[in-house]
Amino acid sequence: MRDTVSFAKNFLEDVLITTETEMESAENIFMEKFCDYLVDAEECFDYQICNYKKTGKGIKINAYEYTEDYDSISIFVADFDKLSPTRKVNGTTIQKGCKKGLKFFQQSVSGFKNQIEESNQEVFEFADILERNFKEIRKLKIYYLTNGIAVNDIPEDEIIDNVKVTFHVWDIERLFQFVHENKGLEQLKINFEDDFNQKVSLVKTPDNNPFYDCYVGIMSGELLARIYDHWGQRLIEKNVRSFLQARGKINRGIRDTINNDPFMFMAYNNGISTVAEDADIIRTDGVNMYYVKELIGWQVVNGGQTTASLYQALKKKIPLDNVFVQIKLTVIKDNVESAEIVSSISKYANSQNKISVSDLSANDPFQVAIENLSRTIWVPTKGFKGKGTTKWFYERARGQYLVEVNRQGTPARKKAFEDQNPKKQVIKKTETAKYEMSWRQYPYIVSKGAETNFLEFIELMKEEKILPDQKFYKHMIAKALLFKAVDKVVKDLDFGGYKANIVTYSIAYFSYINKGEIDFNNIWENQEIDQKLLMIFRNLAQTVFDHITDTPDGNSNVTQWCKKKECWETLKQKKMDSTSFMVKNDEYAI
């Protein structure tokens, strides 16, 4: 319990310091930091902060997420107490919190958007999405997130107009267990006969080795679709899943084969490659034939689109009786090397695609190089030649900064570390991707969310074969300073919504006009942005706001419009006096 209390206090301190640094509401920062961990816990992928409360109506929402086909919706409700971390949260409080998120959903599908104030544009758009796509929604997940310690009293699942509603409670204790003991994630366990009333028989390869057992065979398409229906994206190996979410829609060829030529599915499709952490497998009378009773930690490492396409067919009630899938099952024996083996299988199983799973990990050379540079390069100090007194701290893994702070041992060493690595100079890998992709003129990708943008950024760095050096690192920090300054400018202008979109589009358009050139060395040396330059961005932000809110016919959702490449291309094509947004390096001096 003492460790939980310490974690809760450090987590709260991190929230409050970030709140002061970024001048954002504490509840929003709490939600953002909590949801970042939920991304690691595979509970969400690209959540959207969306703070709205209607006390009289018992409605509250702090963030949301939805799948591209609107099949699954997640609503997050925060219960944040900045005075009493680890306070006890009773069942009544949990029930009320969950019901607030549920009520937002119920009211939204019934036209609640018309009661939302004009200043809450992002809330209006989400409510509009729920109303327009209600018939497509099959699953609703309500997440109750608290920095208190909750009793084990989770509301029962509900069915509302054919939508299955499930409730999920994450308190500070569960978060601590996930971060430090990895207990927060429900074990993925599949018993084919008990859970799905089907049997799976496979042939074992004759090879015997100390690392894995391998089995091959076929599985019914309906069974695979039903398993995916139950476990969702957790069935797909994490990095491959992330790549698929970031890189396009369900393969049309797979869909057409299921619809028109189900008998040809086996002939046309390469099947799926899977791994399992453990398995209950029984040998039958046949030569090398085995009955697979149960799989633990089962993951599809190749064939994610096949799996998701079969699920789409099941959802649309397309018959799958004659659809069968080839399956390769690798059961890992060596628990010590499990992660490395799975990563390698995933990488090579996807070698026919452009997926490079190793490049998406925190241990990728690009990430390690930036981290090493951040630990050795001192921040310049005005009027002081030579080494400065602080550094920027690059987090290539979630929560790395807090871990380092807690490792210092004594209060004096902790203070010395924090003085040398101030909280305001911590930079996350997803933030780096946001700064870089904005300047490289991909605002429509940045607008898709932090995780999606990060994956695209890593692929771009791989294609350009960039390994960071001192110049890259210093310019990266300069872009961070520019982004943060522009973010503050846009916030002060108070457009009433779309701040994130306006910031990335403004920086991208500025970069486009100035052909990607600005004196980043100047920004690095001074560690601040010239007020004359910020005045340019004040004017530019208004231009961008006018553009993104002038959506094309039939597309009233600004947030969705900003995710389209067309939004960026039309901004570039607009005729305007761009000279007022141009700078010359010899004129740009702080």
Tell whether 132 is covered by a domain: yes
Handedness of CA 561, 562, 566, 569 (dihedral sign): positive
3-state secondary structure of 250: coil
Report the chain's terminal Cα–Cα distance, integer Å: 51
Strands 139-146 and 72-79: parallel
103/115 Cα distance (integer angstroms): 14
Last residue of a domain, one of 353, 384, 404: 353
- What confidence score (pLDDT) does residue 120 get? 86
Handedness of CA 495, 496, 500, 505 (dihedral sign): negative
Tell whether 358 is covered by a domain: no
pLDDT digits (tens, 9 = 90+) for 318-334: 889 889 999 999 998 86
Number of domains in the chain: 3
- What confidence score (pLDDT) does residue 333 get? 81
446/432 Cα distance (integer angstroms): 11
Same domain, 426 and 566: yes
CB 81 within 8 A of CB 87: yes
Q: Which run of H or E residues covers position 393?
A: strand 393-395
- What confidence score (pLDDT) does residue 409 get? 73
Tell whether 586 is covered by a domain: no
Strands 200-204 and 212-220: antiparallel
Last residue of a domain, one of 326, 353, 380: 353
Same domain, 263 and 383: no
CB atoms within 10 A of CB 115: 12
Tell whether 303 is covered by a domain: yes
- Selection from 243, 213, 180 nearest residue 399 by Cα: 180
CB atoms within 10 A of CB 57: 13
Same domain, 291 and 400: no
pLDDT less than 70: residues of the chain:
1-2, 181-186, 237-252, 286, 334-363, 382-387, 554, 575-590
Same domain, 158 and 260: no
Please give the radius of gyration of the chain, using alpha carbons only, rounded to the nearest integer. Answer: 25
- What confidence score (pLDDT) does residue 339 get? 58
Q: What is the dihedral of CA 4, 10, 11, 16, to 10 degrees?
A: 150
User: Looking at the DSSP assignment, which residues form a beta bridge with residue 212?
Assistant: 332
Handedness of CA 258, 263, 269, 274 (dihedral sign): positive
Tell whether 292 is covered by a domain: yes
Tell whether 588 is covered by a domain: no
Tell whether 102 is covered by a domain: yes
Q: Which residue has the tokens 């929604």?
A: 137
CB 177 within 8 A of CB 183: yes
Same domain, 426 and 547: yes
Tell whether 506 is covered by a domain: yes
Q: Is the pTM of this model over 0.85?
A: no
Q: What CATH number corresponds to the domain at position 54?
A: 3.40.1350
Last residue of a domain, one of 151, 181, 211: 181
Same domain, 156 and 194: no
Domain residues for 151? 2-181
Same domain, 505 and 451: yes
pLDDT digits (tens, 9 = 90+) for 95-109: 999 999 999 999 999
Same domain, 159 and 212: no
- Selection from 577, 569, 564, 567 nearest residue 545 by Cα: 567
- What confidence score (pLDDT) does residue 343 get? 60
Same domain, 522 and 409: yes
Same domain, 494 and 535: yes
CB 212 within 8 A of CB 331: yes
Same domain, 330 and 382: no
pLDDT digits (tens, 9 = 90+) for 378-406: 998 764 455 578 999 999 888 788 778 87
Same domain, 281 and 334: yes
- What confidence score (pLDDT) does residue 399 get? 79
Give residue 449's identity as a one-letter amino acid code: G
Contacts 24+ apart (CB under 8 A), 576-580: 576/543, 578/513, 580/536, 580/539
